[in-house]
Amino acid sequence: GFAEKDVNFNNQAAAGFGVETMLLESELELIEGRIELAKQLTGATGCSVEIAASRAFIAGTKTARALCQEYICWVNNGLLSHVPGLKRQDTAIRCKVDPQLMDLPWLQQQLARLAIETSSVAFWDMEEGDASRRLIFAGSVIAVRPGVV
């Protein structure tokens, strides 16, 4: 598939079922294959998500699309900085990890597998004032079953 640069599905997005697009950060585009972000977002939000190059296509209800876009923003921001305000029912902050460990392909694959199995999205962000990174899980299932991850 392909995406034309000027196509804007967002104008057609209604309160019911619709399709929207969102750009991904270039760094995220490079690691997307390892972390299977589309599958994670699909499970975490109930949307159908496909990623082509630097664009995510999000199909679902308006509420689910908004949640999916918020999670994409968190993942994008987490690559470069601290994501504030993660004290919601649909998030779980699990641990701090040394930045050198988080780049291990085996660890990335295991976290992606766990996120998909638990219908959540897993991502890292920088800890404020610290070189370590936080491992964060987010998804609607976490609000219902907080101990799932």
DSSP code, position 38? H
Q: Could you tell me the pLDDT band of residue 11, with boundaries at 50, 70 and 90?
A: very low
* Residue from 41, 138, 145, 30 nearest 90 by CA: 138
Q: What are the tokens at 45?
A: 């939000």
Taking only the tens place, the pLDDT of each residue in 62-94 is: 999 999 999 988 888 777 777 877 777 778 877
pLDDT at 60: 96
State the Cα–Cα distance between residues 97 and 65, nearest whole angstrom: 30
State the Cα–Cα distance between residues 131 and 21, nearest whole angstrom: 33
Taking only the tens place, the pLDDT of each residue in 36-65 is: 888 999 999 999 999 887 888 999 999 999
Contact 16, 61 (CB under 8 A): yes
State the Cα–Cα distance between residues 62 and 112, nearest whole angstrom: 26
The average pLDDT across 3-19 equals: 62
State the Cα–Cα distance between residues 8 and 20, nearest whole angstrom: 8
Evaluate if pTM is beyond 0.85.
Answer: no
- Composition of the chain by helix, strand, coil, percent to 5: 45, 25, 30
